[in-house]
Amino acid sequence: MVKKVKGKRIIELNSKEIKVNLEQLQKDVKKAYDTMKKVLPESINSTEIKKFGNASHIILPKEYAGKRATVIIKKD
């Protein structure tokens, strides 16, 4: 059931609907994770970004030389 209160949408679900939605969410998350593994076949868990003049460098093992990379910066 969806109702509006002061411009906000409020969705009410019963326990059966929540269980079904959680099961679907788990399936969706697994599918998204599997897709990410295809897009990101390898990963470096954590590496330091080092200062280099007015820029910065990320040092990776030499087996990554010549490969393309996507860099994701985590917030601290």
- List the chain pLDDT tens, one digit each, 76 residues: 666 777 778 878 777 777 777 888 888 888 888 877 776 656 666 777 888 889 998 888 888 888 887 777 777 6
Of 61, 58, 41, nearest in space to 49 by CA: 58
Number of domains in the chain: 1
- Whether residue 72 is contained in a domain is answered as no
Q: Is 36 helix (H, G, I), strand (E, B) or coil?
A: helix
- Whether residue 50 is contained in a domain is answered as yes
* Domain assignment of residue 37, given as a range: 2-64
pTM above 0.75, yes or no: no
- Whether residue 32 is contained in a domain is answered as yes
- Whether residue 49 is contained in a domain is answered as yes
- Whether residue 74 is contained in a domain is answered as no
- Whether residue 75 is contained in a domain is answered as no
User: Which residues, including other chains, have CB under 8 Å from residue 3's CB and lie 6 or more apart?
Assistant: 9, 10, 12
Please state, in angstroms and rounded to a whole number, the distance separating the CA atoms of residues 45 and 60.
11
- Whether residue 69 is contained in a domain is answered as no
- Whether residue 13 is contained in a domain is answered as yes
